[in-house]
Chains A and B, each alone.
Chain A
Amino acid sequence: MSVSDEEISRRYQEIFGKPLNAGRRSGLAALLGSLDRANDQTVAGLTPDSEPMGHRTILRSPSHGE
């Protein structure tokens, strides 16, 4: 998931049509780095049977906690 400085600048220019200054790029890179590490932790803890759409099914049952 890690994004290089060049990629951040390129993508920013593409979305906003203007260049990203160095200060903001460095702040954004730090934030993205921390989200990247969060994703690594998430992936490390996933079990093979966890599916993306399982959450809705869990919510539908009114018997939780009974």
Chain B
Amino acid sequence: MANDITRLPAAALARKIRAKEISALEAAEAFLDRAEKIGPGLNTWITLDREGALSEARKVDRGIAEGSARGPLTGVPVGLKDLIDVAGLRTTAGSLIYRDNVAAGDAPLTRKIREAGAVILGKLNLQEFAFGPSGHNPHYGDQKNPWDPERVTGGSSGGSANAVLTGQASITIGSDTGGSIRIPASLCGAFGHKPTFGLVTKAGCIPLSWSLDSFGPLAASAEDCALMMTAIAGPDPEDPSSLQVEAPDFTEALDTPLKGVRIGHARSYYADQSDPAVVKAIEETARALADAGAQVIEVDIPDLETAYDTATNFMMSEASAIHEKDVRARADDYDPMVLERLLIGFFVPATAYIQAQRFRSQWTARVLKEVFGKVDLVLAAATPMPAPLRSAKTVTIGGKEYAARGHLIALTRHINFLGFPATSFPAGFSGEGLPLGAQLIGPPLHDHKTIAAAHQLEKTGAVRFQYAPYEG
């Protein structure tokens, strides 16, 4: 059975540590013990840094004793997706190619998390180079779903999700290029926030696509997402994509009531291609929003099919450019599934990449006008189905057959192409007891509003986080 400390969301844990009810050292030890016990069965971690975490926790405790520890994440044990540099630890990106790549220093994102008082436990497993939606990894093991280890976690931040659901880390960081925070959050039952592109620094992190990558939290509550965003959002001179705007106040915004908030239910975005259990769950979420005082209307997002295909051209081009040198020199060291995807980008001409960029600007302006001109936030499913079996090649929904892995990304890639923020949150369970996920999407820099709306739904009881019963 999990220690009670490992069943505390980050906000509650930080409060107890600041109040000296629990020491940071006790918290770090509890989560590390749990990670060592549970992690190997779920392939959660690539590197667990017991020595470094305990040393950091002792420092936090000294700071509390001296009255100098005031960060929002004081003493909170955090796991980082293994794309993010932590001084002295290797950053493998889930690959063989970077297996021995030891970081000389902390990424700016890591520095911000430490400055907020958090204790870094280690580096979480992921799909190789964050390039895939299932959590498959032939080098460090497939990340396994804690509700049923025969099923995928979703990816690419699979370790980031299963760590939260089993109390191996109080909160984690993932990255989202086409859905890699929201997909595993949805399939495992976590909260996840994909920030506005450029709001969170990605300097010192191994990229998949310079124009689409966003780093953000996976957590046990919307409040925890707000706490982490408070720590990590804002301009960074080391990241050329960083938006030079001040971050909103995420924790203050949590109290914003849903009354009067205009929610666009984008049924046409997800319903036709989604499992009936997912459709029912999102309809119930829409009703809960309306019951809480939101004005819920139906909206259609224009030009979805062209946007999805154009985003594919765009992402493949950037990913292949990033990997060109390694693909030419060490193709055999790549996961064949990842290599297959990387191959595509080598055949997309520069003109198609530029036309995709032009379309991106034009489509984004159109979505802002035609959708966010009418509503404040958009509600949709985060994934069209619950977690498929790891062995599944196809799934059938509404009589139509889809690729089991490829279809996981059907409702998320568009939002990365827009660069907009989206918060995914638990939306109940399927008949088989598997988590379902919803997402609230906002216009740029309205991250605080998508997180706050999810928080308000939690307060009504309509949205509820549940730890997975997995004990190894």
From residue A20, how far is it (CB to closest CB) to chain B in Å? 9
- Nearest CB in chain A to that of B324: its residue: A15
Task: Give the B-binding residues of A (Cβ under 8 A).
Answer: 1, 3, 8, 11-12, 15-16, 28, 31-32, 34-35, 37-39, 41-43, 45-47, 50-56, 58-62, 64-65
Q: Which of A11, A45, A47, A65 contacts B443 (CB 8 A)?
A: A65
Contact of A60 with B312 in the complex, beta carbons under 8 Å: no
A-chain residues with CB within 8 Å of residue B248 when the two chains form the complex: 62
Assuming A15-B328, A28-B344, A58-B364, is B351 touching A65 (CB within 8 A)?
no
CB-contacts of B40-93 with A (<8 A): none
* A-B CB contacts (within 8 Å), total count: 122
Residue B445 is within 8 A (CB to CB) of chain A in the complex = yes
Q: List 21 A-B contacts (CB under 8 A).
A: A35-B316, A35-B352, A38-B306, A38-B309, A38-B312, A39-B310, A41-B305, A42-B306, A42-B310, A42-B313, A50-B362, A53-B361, A54-B361, A58-B364, A60-B243, A60-B244, A60-B444, A61-B445, A62-B248, A62-B444, A65-B443
Please report which residues of chain B, range 254-313, place their CB below 8 angstroms from some CB of chain A when the two chains form the complex.
303, 305-306, 309-310, 312-313
Number of B interface residues, CB 8 Å?
48
Say yes or no: B361 contacts A50, CB within 8 Å.
yes
Beta-carbon contact of A52 and B361 below 8 Å: yes
User: Counting CB contacts under 8 A, is B359 at the interface?
Assistant: yes
Residue from B196, B309, B351, B445 in contact with A41 in the complex, judged by beta carbons closer than 8 Å: B309
Q: Is chain B's interface secondary structure helix, strand, loop, or mixed overall?
A: helix
Residues of B within 8 A of A43 (CB): 355
Complex Cα–Cα for A52 and B364 (A): 12
**B320-336 with Cβ < 8 A to chain A:** 327-328, 331
A35 to B343, CA, bound (A): 13
Q: Is the CB of B310 within 8 A of A58?
A: no
> Given A35-B313, A64-B444, are A59 and B362 neighbors across the interface (CB < 8 Å)?
no
Query: From residue B132, how far is it (CB to closest CB) to chain A in Å?
Result: 16
User: Which residues from chain A contact B355 at a C-beta distance below 8 Å?
Assistant: 39, 42-43, 46
| Residues in chain A near residue B313, CB distance under 8 A | 35, 38-39, 42
Interface string of B341-382 (1 = CB under 8 A from A): 001101111011011111111101100100011001000000
Q: A50 contacts B359, CB within 8 Å?
A: yes
Given contacts A39-B352, A42-B355, A50-B362, contact A32 B347 (CB under 8 A): yes
Compute how far the CA of A64 lies from the CA of B327 in the bound complex, rounded to whole angstroms: 41
CA A35 – CA B87 in complex, angstroms? 41
- Interface residues, chain B, with chain A CB atoms under 8 Å away: 196-198, 211, 243-245, 248, 303, 305-306, 309-310, 312-313, 316, 327-328, 331, 343-344, 346-349, 351-352, 354-362, 364-365, 368, 372-373, 376, 419, 442-446
Chain A at the B interface: SS class: helix
Closest approach, in angstroms, between the C-beta of A45 and any C-beta of chain B?
6
14 extra interface residue pairs, beta carbon distance < 8 Å, beyond A1-B352, A8-B347, A38-B306: A15-B327, A31-B344, A32-B344, A42-B309, A45-B362, A47-B362, A50-B361, A50-B362, A52-B358, A54-B361, A55-B361, A64-B443, A64-B445, A65-B373
Shortest distance between the CB of B94 and any CB in chain A (Å): 22
Q: Which of B197, B376, B444 has the most CB of A within 10 A?
A: B444
CB distance from B449 to the nearest CB of A (A): 8
A11 adjacent to B362 (CB under 8 Å): no
CA distance A26 to B217 in the complex (A): 40
**Most chain B CB within a 10 A radius of its CB, from A53, A55, A58, A64:** A55
